[in-house]
Amino acid sequence: MSKKKSYKIPLIIAAVLLVIIAAALYLLIAPVSNVPSWFIPAREAFYASAFYSDFENNFITDNRYMYIVKGLGVTFEVTFFAVLLGIVLGVIVALVRSSYDTQKEELRGFSKGILYFFYKLCGVYLTVIRGTPVVVQLMIIYFVIFASSNNKILVAVLAFGINSGAYVAEIIRGGIMSIDKGQFEAGRSLGFGYVRTMAFIIIPQAFKTVLPALANEFIVLIKETSVSGYVGLQELTKGGDIIRSRTYSAFMPLIAVAIIYLVIVMFFSWLVSLLERRLKNSER
């Protein structure tokens, strides 16, 4: 079986399942006049079941499903801006550390001292951020650094962005250091300085190498935002917990939250695998 056919089989199965689910939902919520007579007994049995009663109590009564919908929007908002901040911080830290590693033999005097200072500062940043739990960092930023602020989304973006930046920095630095030294020499032979060589030759190649790893960091960050409830931010997990506190039923809302996270992660994992295949094909 060819690779293309093996990739299409899961997509076909997923499409068939989606069609079946959509058809079942339509038969359950459509007017009775539009439902085939053979399905009406099954529909009546479903609405009389304890499962539907629990579902209605958790999601339909008082529009409680909106806690999930609003929480999902907050989760995506925090994740998106945290990823942007993490990439910016990661690129800066990676450039500082890789620049010192590759230029320390050539630099002299004041410029070497300045670069060494920022190199050590970035090392402290990586050690502290990667050595402490993200939930602790989140609470420190909210209850200590921004204790007078009520902007919980901003706090969450800063906390997760700073945390992600430490991991992104090592991913990008690894990509930069994986580029053959001959590429640096090629840039110099073309008359490029160190900055132009990094900008036009090294960074594009390194970014292509680390792009799948950066995408995986985005997936991890989506799940990490579930601890935002510690500072009272109503994201997806907190939305499910609010429903639980209203209905005193934990199974339905928490399982719904878990399924939503699972679907999101599976979707973005599929995109990452697709990206990796395209990158491999472009190298041939």
pLDDT tens across 250-274, in order?
Answer: 899 999 999 999 989 888 888 888 8
pLDDT tens across 201-241, in order?
Answer: 887 788 778 888 888 888 899 999 999 988 889 999 999 99
What does the pLDDT read at residue 29?
Answer: 81
Burial class from Cβ neighbours inside 10 Å (0-12, 13-18, 19+) for residue 86 reads buried
User: Considering only CA atoms, which of 60, 52, 46, 51 is closest in space to residue 246?
Assistant: 60
Chain centroid to Cα 257, Å, comes to: 16
Question: How does the average pLDDT of the chain come out, rounded?
Answer: 85
Contacts of 124 (CB under 8 A, 6+ apart): none
Q: Which of helix, strand or coil describes residue 6?
A: helix
Taking CA atoms, 37 is separated from 31, 34, 48, 56, in Å, by: 12, 9, 18, 25
163, 224 contact by CB (below 8 A):
yes
Neighbours of 82 (CB within 10 A): 25
Instruction: Report the run of H or E that residue 182 belongs to, with start and end.
Output: helix 181-189
Chain centroid to Cα 284, Å, comes to: 29
Q: Per-domain residue ranges for the chain?
A: 12-42, 66-283
Q: Give whichever of 15-29, 169-183, 222-236 has the largest mean pLDDT.
A: 222-236
What does the pLDDT read at residue 221?
Answer: 92
Place of tokens 């295949």: 277
Cα–Cα dist 36/277, whole Å: 45
What does the pLDDT read at residue 107?
Answer: 66
Q: Which of helix, strand or coil describes residue 148?
A: coil
237, 145 contact by CB (below 8 A):
no
51, 249 contact by CB (below 8 A):
no
What does the pLDDT read at residue 282?
Answer: 65
Instruction: Determine the average pLDDT of the residues in 48-75.
Output: 90
Cα–Cα dist 70/76, whole Å: 10
% pLDDT > 90, the chain = 39
Grade residue 9 by pLDDT with cuts at 50, 70 and 90.
low
DSSP code at position 105? T
Q: Which residue has the higher pLDDT, 276 or 136?
A: 136
pLDDT above 60 for 5: no
Per-residue buried b or exposed e for 103-132, using 16+ beta carbons within 10 Å of the residue's own CB: eeeeeeeeebeebeebbeebeebbeebeee
Question: What are 42's two structure tokens?
Answer: 């099954």
Grade residue 150 by pLDDT with cuts at 50, 70 and 90.
confident
Per-residue buried b or exposed e for 38-57, using 16+ beta carbons within 10 Å of the residue's own CB: eeeeebeeeeeeeeeeebeb
Question: What are 133's two structure tokens?
Answer: 């739990």
CATH architecture of structural domain 66-283: Orthogonal Bundle (1.10)
Instruction: Determine the average pLDDT of the residues in 27-34.
Output: 80
pLDDT above 50 for 140: yes
What does the pLDDT read at residue 52?
Answer: 85
Instruction: Determine the average pLDDT of the residues in 118-144.
Output: 94
Neighbours of 3 (CB within 10 A): 8
- Of 6-15, 190-199, 254-263, 271-280, least confident by mean pLDDT is 6-15
- Of 38-52, 125-139, 194-208, least confident by mean pLDDT is 194-208
Place of tokens 């090392």: 123
